[in-house]
Chain A
Amino acid sequence: MNEAFFDKKDYKPLDRVDGHLKVTGAAKYSAEYVLPNMTYGVLVGSQIAKGTIKSIDSKAAERAPGVLAVISHLNAIKVPGYQADPSKPAKPAGGPQPLRVFFDNKIYSNDQPIVIVVATSLEKAKHAASLVKVQYDKEVHTTDFDANMQNGVLPEAAKKNPKSGSADYDRGQTTAFETAPVKIEAEYIIPNEMHNPMELQAVTAHWEADDRLTIYDKVQGTKTTQRFFASEWKIPEQNIKVISTFVGGAFGNGLRSWPHETAAILAAKQVKRPVKLMLTREQMFTMVGYRPRTWQKVQMGATKDGKLVAINHNSVGQTSSYEEFTEATLSQTRMMYAAPNVSTRYRILPLNVATPIWMRGPGEATGAFGLESAMDEMAHAIEMDPIEFRLLNYTESDPDRNLPWSTKYLRECYEEGKKRIGWNNRKLKPGSLRDGEWLVGYGMGTGTFGANRGPATVKAELDMEGNLVMHCAITDIGPGTGTAMVQIASNTTGIPTEKITFHLGSSEFPNAGLQGGSSTVNSVGPAVLAACNALKEQLIAMAAKKDASAFGSAKPDDLVFEKDHIVLSEKSSAKVALSDLFKQNNNRKIETTQESKPSENRSKYSMNAFSMHFAMVHVHPFTGQVRVKKIVCCADAGTIVSPKTAESQMIGGATGGIGMALMEDAVMDHRFGRYITKDFGDYHVPSHADVPQIEIYFVNKPDLLADPVGSKGLGEIAIIGVAPAIANAVFNATGKRVRELPITPDKLI
């Protein structure tokens, strides 16, 4: 009897179940489906940021070889689900209005898609697209965030619901900051940061019949996408198939549908052939969402011995003129530290730009840059070690919701991280450490994110050979969902991982929500558990028919697979061959479909995952170059069900944090309302040489209040807090506080 199967914590590192497919190119991504009669779409973007289209000269493009259609608002078929009121794009009756591509002649942002050219090859479509000539009636646009910040508004959602996360928030005395013994006040800015996953946004749209659509699409939710296009095209949901088997990174960019998807679907309907459309790298800056430019001001008051008195945290984030994008920039401030007096004010600033979207660790990562930088500024002001300062203000319950934490092991993170980064080498006084010419500094930043969970359903089938096959509509945007689910199933049943398959990424499969908000293992994992347990119950019932005394009162937890048998843990003699059991079923496989939902615990506890990031940096004093030398990420993410992919997640998040801290910056020329840095040559993300050793530590203690798997999620906390850790390390090295990201050499000389 292998006891290990019963130790729920025993999740071993496992290579990705789809790793071989990915590295051999066998994994098919959205733009890799070859359909008969395929055509190719290329989008033409507007060259102004605001105004109207006066005319489109498409003659040359239409005459170009291989061109099937040049589609714009002038000749596009009607999209039945477009909301009709063109005069109120921002606030139609039923909520925000996504950009209606090819609806009318209005331009809301630069490079807005205004024409799609469809041709028999990509090259032909590209060439023809370059021949389209557009005349505009320009209007004065507003894209300059800094110059218009005072025009930030309270989001509609907050006006409607004063309890919403974006509403004004006050705890304790709003004037407490004024009278605090030690005060700091600082403003922080992060620039627009672009999603830019390796795989470009791509869709292949195929109308199989007039009212039946199949799309191969790069999305984070197959079911949400299905619903969106069902309502856009006014056809029944079940008539739409969304296939998203493999996604080459999404980070939030696939959490909603974008105009290019509608453009491809519309074009496919119009040319009556499948249309494949892949955005260019430059279009990834303008036609899909991004992390919005955000200004923050933090006022922090403390006692001289390090007790927080007050935090006032205000922010303004960029949004488009037609949709109100909001994110939880200030949530961490309300619950992270035991400050008796906290006020937050969240505003958004509509500009003539495209709508942002959540980007990994979304608002929380932005807010953490403000909050965790300010914590460092305060620690410096009171001459206290930043960890000690945080420990002094540690919260044992959620001060925002006034609820106990389901679990919180952040202390363990501080302790372990300190050791691993070599925190003892850190000097309180900035600029005290050197390595040759280079200044050396240490910094840290804390992160937290809700241990989110939603309903999910998994179908599981077991055959007489003991092969377990599961299906779920969830996507895998890169974290290794298939691998994690296989590990949960193997851990629950004892079936070896090689005999388990987890099919995902299709709207044809049982329901799941979005892969986003670090919620997949917490949501789908429990459904896998439930399905495995339901199968076990069926097996127990079958076994009881053979051996009632041993199996009659057995519970799923007692049962485990051993080679081609099932056995009972307590009574190892009770053992039935699968082949015997399945005879009862005429050797047909058994199956079950199980839904798992969040429990009422969610209203009794606050559930959060926590992370702590440490950075050691070198700064060249004469040239301002920063080299991150080491990063240590410690996470309290509950049970780690897939240690290997979890570690990769953390490394990826930390790498994203390096980009956020030191490089990423989508620069716009506001005279034209157009981005200036819009390819990988100009828009920098970390190169290999920028990524040091990244060490990962997981507390790995289950949170069974959050969900039966005990997982709290870690995609977001992997990046939340990294940027301030690096910025704080730069300050510790140089004594220079850079409050506007990215920290490029020019800001340090």
Chain B
Amino acid sequence: MIQFSYERATTTKAAVSALANNTSAKFIAGGTNLVDLMKRNVMAPTKLVDINAVPLKDIQQKNGKTIIGALALNSQVADDKMILEKHPLLSKALNAGASAQIRNMATVGGNIMQRTRCAYFYDTALPCNKRQPGSGCGALEGANRMHAIFGSSAQCIAVHPSDMCVALVALDATVVVAGPKGERRIPFGEFHRLPGDHPEKDNTLQSNELITAVEIPDNAFSKNTHYFKVRDRASYAFALISVAAALQMDGKVIKEARLAMGGVAHKPWRLLEAEKSLVGKEANEATFKQAAEIAMQGAKAYKNNAFKLKLGPNVIVEALKNAAGLV
């Protein structure tokens, strides 16, 4: 860990201006990801701007939208009455992540911004284009059991590790950010990037922008949702594959569907084509299998993660079965 300066911001404006002119400064919220990375010398900000005192913790309902402050804690959101009622999928996804202790510290903004858990990214003795552009991708021909099957590039095959983001992308959320020039709104699906030739960039947030909130438009999915996460142990492990499924049912027929996957790509992976295939069909195993097949089109495996090609469709079917109440 290197020496760094520390400053506390109490307003959005102060937070944003504290970062101006210093590209190696970073916000710190719960610190559950950033501090680990600093300890391993993976990230070495020269200045930390503590945003915990910025009043961005509230969860409100306004104009047909649920607005969640960027500093709301993962546990707070997961247990929030309104969230449980209106967006249970989000609550389920949050509770599938990390441990109770970490969720008590982790914030919504930090969760969105958390970095990949790729082991090559974490070890400064190994190559990683995301950590050190141009050094190569260690995982490409290395230990890549946990890695991407969608949207990877020769530069990077890491996955975004968040569970919460899988639910948020399925729920058509919007990320609200504040920058030197004011507010910007980014559709969730466009917030995170694919690695392409610049895996060092996880997302489209500018280095001097602060996430202030996440908005979720009202929807009719609250009755039929499920977050199915497959991991190497019963709790406290990142997803091998996870699926967020939300259905709006009309009797036995699916009126609308939302489907997204985690643990498969550099960003939470929305399955738009599969969603479309579900609309107007009866909710049954055959329908779900067909959607799963569509969802997996274009998937590509590496040496150690071929199992994801088989596991992926199974998890989609299981998530949909559970959402539809068929299990």
By beta carbon, the residue of chain A nearest B240 is A745
- Residues of B within 8 Å of A744, CB to CB, are 232
**Are B143 and A745 interface neighbours, CB within 8 A?**
no
- A674 to B123, alpha carbons, bound, how many Å? 10
**In the complex, A739 has a CB within 8 A of chain B:** no
Q: Which of A623, A662, A668, A672 has the most CB of B within 10 A?
A: A623
The answer, among B2, B138, B233, for a CB contact under 8 Å with A127, is B2
**Chain B stretch 190-233: residues in CB contact (< 8 A) with chain A:** 228, 230-233
Q: Which of B41, B145, B234, B240 has the most CB of A within 10 A?
A: B234
**Chain A stretch 665-687: residues in CB contact (< 8 A) with chain B:** 667-669, 671-672, 674, 676-678, 681-682, 684, 686-687
Given A662-B233, A674-B126, A684-B233, is A624 in contact with B311 using a C-beta cutoff of 8 Å?
A: yes
**Are A127 and B3 interface neighbours, CB within 8 A?**
yes
CB distance from A124 to the nearest CB of B (A): 10
**Are A684 and B237 interface neighbours, CB within 8 A?**
yes
- Residues of A within 8 Å of B230, CB to CB, are 623-625, 745
**Are B235 and A690 interface neighbours, CB within 8 A?**
yes
- A690 to B240, alpha carbons, bound, how many Å? 17
- Residues of A within 8 Å of B125, CB to CB, are 47, 672, 674
CB distance from A336 to the nearest CB of B (A): 31
Interface residues on A, range: 35 or more
Given A47-B125, A749-B314, is A127 in contact with B232 using a C-beta cutoff of 8 Å?
A: no
Given A669-B138, A682-B117, is A623 in contact with B311 using a C-beta cutoff of 8 Å?
A: yes
**In the complex, A688 has a CB within 8 A of chain B:** yes
**In the complex, B310 has a CB within 8 A of chain A:** yes
- A663 to B233, alpha carbons, bound, how many Å? 7
**Are A622 and B317 interface neighbours, CB within 8 A?**
yes
- Residues of B within 8 Å of A669, CB to CB, are 126, 138, 142-143
By beta carbon, the residue of chain A nearest B314 is A622
- Residues of A within 8 Å of B228, CB to CB, are 623
CB distance from B236 to the nearest CB of A (A): 5
**Are A130 and B123 interface neighbours, CB within 8 A?**
no
- Residues of A within 8 Å of B310, CB to CB, are 749
Interface membership of chain B positions 233-250, coded 1 if the CB is closer than 8 angstroms to chain A and 0 otherwise: 111111010000000000
**In the complex, B307 has a CB within 8 A of chain A:** yes
**Chain B stretch 103-154: residues in CB contact (< 8 A) with chain A:** 117, 119-120, 123, 125-126, 138, 141-143, 145
- Residues of B within 8 Å of A293, CB to CB, are none
**Are A689 and B235 interface neighbours, CB within 8 A?**
yes
**In the complex, A123 has a CB within 8 A of chain B:** yes
CB distance from A627 to the nearest CB of B (A): 6
- Residues of B within 8 Å of A437, CB to CB, are 327
- Residues of B within 8 Å of A436, CB to CB, are 327
The count of A-to-B residue pairs whose CB atoms sit within 8 angstroms is 91
By beta carbon, the residue of chain B nearest A628 is B234
- A663 to B120, alpha carbons, bound, how many Å? 21
**Are A749 and B307 interface neighbours, CB within 8 A?**
yes
**Are A627 and B234 interface neighbours, CB within 8 A?**
yes
CB distance from B99 to the nearest CB of A (A): 8
- A662 to B234, alpha carbons, bound, how many Å? 11
| B interface residues, how many (CB within 8 angstroms) | 35
- A47 to B232, alpha carbons, bound, how many Å? 29
**Are A687 and B236 interface neighbours, CB within 8 A?**
yes
By beta carbon, the residue of chain A nearest B238 is A681
**In the complex, A420 has a CB within 8 A of chain B:** no
Interface membership of chain A positions 625-651, coded 1 if the CB is closer than 8 angstroms to chain B and 0 otherwise: 101000000000000000000000000
**Are B138 and A623 interface neighbours, CB within 8 A?**
no
By beta carbon, the residue of chain B nearest A126 is B1
**Are A623 and B314 interface neighbours, CB within 8 A?**
yes
CB distance from A313 to the nearest CB of B (A): 30
**In the complex, A498 has a CB within 8 A of chain B:** no
By beta carbon, the residue of chain A nearest B125 is A47
- A686 to B237, alpha carbons, bound, how many Å? 10
Given A130-B2, A672-B125, is A663 in contact with B232 using a C-beta cutoff of 8 Å?
A: yes
**In the complex, B315 has a CB within 8 A of chain A:** yes
Given A437-B327, A669-B138, A749-B314, is A690 in contact with B2 using a C-beta cutoff of 8 Å?
A: no
**Are A688 and B235 interface neighbours, CB within 8 A?**
yes
Interface membership of chain A positions 20-63, coded 1 if the CB is closer than 8 angstroms to chain B and 0 otherwise: 00000000000000000000000000010000000000000000
**Are A689 and B311 interface neighbours, CB within 8 A?**
no
CB distance from B321 to the nearest CB of A (A): 9
**In the complex, A7 has a CB within 8 A of chain B:** no
**In the complex, B318 has a CB within 8 A of chain A:** yes
- A745 to B315, alpha carbons, bound, how many Å? 12
**Are B138 and A746 interface neighbours, CB within 8 A?**
no
**Are A690 and B233 interface neighbours, CB within 8 A?**
yes
CB distance from B229 to the nearest CB of A (A): 10
- Residues of B within 8 Å of A686, CB to CB, are 233
- A123 to B41, alpha carbons, bound, how many Å? 13
**Are A687 and B2 interface neighbours, CB within 8 A?**
no
**Are B307 and A676 interface neighbours, CB within 8 A?**
no
- A686 to B233, alpha carbons, bound, how many Å? 7
**Are A130 and B41 interface neighbours, CB within 8 A?**
yes
- A625 to B241, alpha carbons, bound, how many Å? 12
**Are A127 and B1 interface neighbours, CB within 8 A?**
yes
- Residues of A within 8 Å of B41, CB to CB, are 130
By beta carbon, the residue of chain B nearest A671 is B142
CB distance from A484 to the nearest CB of B (A): 32
The answer, among B142, B145, B233, for a CB contact under 8 Å with A687, is B233
The answer, among B142, B145, B232, for a CB contact under 8 Å with A684, is B232
The answer, among B232, B236, B318, for a CB contact under 8 Å with A745, is B232
CB distance from A623 to the nearest CB of B (A): 5
**Are B318 and A622 interface neighbours, CB within 8 A?**
yes
- Residues of B within 8 Å of A662, CB to CB, are 232-233
- A622 to B145, alpha carbons, bound, how many Å? 19
CB distance from B212 to the nearest CB of A (A): 29
Given A745-B311, A749-B307, is A687 in contact with B327 using a C-beta cutoff of 8 Å?
A: no
- A437 to B240, alpha carbons, bound, how many Å? 20
The answer, among B126, B143, B233, B235, for a CB contact under 8 Å with A667, is B143
CB distance from A686 to the nearest CB of B (A): 7
Q: Which of B3, B142, B143, B231 has the most CB of A within 10 A?
A: B143
- Residues of A within 8 Å of B234, CB to CB, are 625, 627, 687, 689-690
Given contacts A623-B228, A678-B119, A686-B233, 11 further A-B contacts (CB under 8 A): A126-B1, A127-B2, A130-B2, A622-B315, A623-B314, A671-B142, A678-B123, A684-B233, A687-B235, A749-B307, A749-B311
Closest 4 A-B residue pairs measured CB to CB? A746-B307, A689-B234, A689-B235, A47-B125
Which positions in A face B, CB cutoff 8 Å?
Answer: 47, 123, 126-127, 130, 436-437, 622-625, 627, 662-663, 667-669, 671-672, 674, 676-678, 681-682, 684, 686-690, 744-746, 749
30 contacts between A and B (CB under 8 A): A47-B125, A123-B1, A127-B1, A127-B2, A127-B3, A130-B2, A436-B327, A622-B315, A623-B228, A623-B315, A624-B311, A662-B232, A667-B143, A672-B125, A681-B117, A682-B117, A684-B232, A687-B99, A687-B234, A687-B235, A689-B233, A690-B233, A690-B234, A744-B232, A745-B232, A745-B240, A745-B311, A746-B240, A746-B307, A749-B310
